[in-house]
A = this chain, B = another copy of it.
C-alpha cells in the first residue's frame, strides 16, 4: 500500500476529506492556521505528494483540489469530473469508451499523452432550477 502520510500531508488530507466542495490551496491554508501552517508552500508540497499518491485530484478549471472519491480504486485510468457550479459537489467517473476513443485519436496522431483532463461544469440534479 501507500506509505504513511507525513504530518502536513495528513492535515491537508483531513481538510479535503471533510470538505463539501473543492478547496483552493489558500483556503486549505486558512483552515490549517491553528495547526501551525503559515505558508502556501507547505500546502502545495503536501498537495503535490497527495496527488502523486492518487489521494487528491486537482481540478484544472477551478484551480482547486478535491479528495479522491474512490481512493486506490482508479490508480491509472482516465477520470472525468462533473462539477456543480451551484453547490460545488463533484462526481468522479470513468468511461472505458471515452478512454478508448481518446486513445485512438492519440495513437492515430502519434501523440503521446501524459495527462488527460475531463471536467464537465454545470449544475447537478439537486441544483437544476435553483440556478
Contacts and interface: CB of A to CB of B under 8 A. Distances in A.
Interface in A96-112: 97-98, 101-102, 105-106, 109-112
A105 B95 CA distance: 9
Contact of A110 (B93, B97, B111, B125): B125
Contacts of A110: 124-125, 128
Contact of A60 (B93, B119, B120): B119
Nearest to A62: B60
A111 B120 CA distance: 9
A56 B123 CA distance: 25
A120 B106 contact: yes
Interface of A: 60-61, 80, 82, 84-85, 91, 93, 95, 97-98, 101-102, 105-106, 109-125, 128
